[in-house]
Amino acid sequence: MFVVESYGLAVVMCVITMLCWGSWANTQKLASKEWRFQLYYWDYAIGVILLALVLAFTLGSLGGGGRSFIEDVRQATASSLLLAFLGGVVFNFANILLVAAIDIAGMAVAFPIGIGLALVIGVVTNYIATPVGDPVFLFVGVAAIAGAIVLNAIAYRRLPSQGQKTTTKGIAISIAAGIPMGLFYYLVAASMSEKHAVLEGGKLGPYSAVVLFSLGLFVSNFLWNSIVMAKPFTGEPVPFGDYFKKGNMRLHSIGILGGVIWSIGMSFSILASAEAGFAISYGLGQGATMVAALWGVFIWREFKAALPSTERMGWKQRLRVLLLEGTGRLLTLMFVCYAAGLALIIYSRIA
The 10s digit of each residue's pLDDT in 228-243 is 999 998 889 999 999 9
Residues 6+ apart with CB under 8 A from 64: none
- What mean pLDDT value characterizes the chain? 86
Would you tell me how many other CB atoms lie within 10 Å of the CB of residue 320?
Answer: 14
**Interhelix angle 278-285/135-156, nearest 10 degrees:** 20
Q: What's the whole-model pTM score? A: 0.84
Q: What is the pLDDT of residue 215?
A: 98
Q: What is the pLDDT of residue 283?
A: 80
Give whole-number Cα distances, 152 to 25, 65, 80, 208, 288, in Å: 18, 44, 38, 37, 15
Q: What is the pLDDT of residue 313?
A: 54
Per-domain boundaries in the chain: 7-348
Condensed to tens digits (0 to 9), the pLDDT of residues 189-241 reads: 999 998 888 889 999 999 999 999 999 999 999 999 999 999 998 889 999 99
How would you class 8 by CB atoms within 10 Å of its CB: exposed for 0-12, middle for 13-18, buried for 19 or more?
exposed
Nearest Cα neighbor of 44 from 58, 57, 25 is 25
CA distance 251 to 275: 38
Q: What is the pLDDT of residue 163?
A: 47
CA distance 217 to 214: 5
CA distance 321 to 313: 9
**Interhelix angle 249-276/7-23, nearest 10 degrees:** 150
Q: Is the dihedral of CA 3, 89, 181, 159 positive or negative?
A: positive
CA distance 72 to 212: 12
Give bridge partners of residue 192 from the DSSP assignment: 204
DSSP state of 66: S
Q: What is the pLDDT of residue 312?
A: 58
Residues 6+ apart with CB under 8 A from 274: 3, 4, 10, 194, 195, 196, 197, 206
Condensed to tens digits (0 to 9), the pLDDT of residues 255-299 reads: 999 999 999 999 999 999 989 888 888 888 877 777 877 787 777
**Which residues does the chain have with pLDDT short of 70?**
64-65, 108, 156-157, 159-167, 301-326, 351
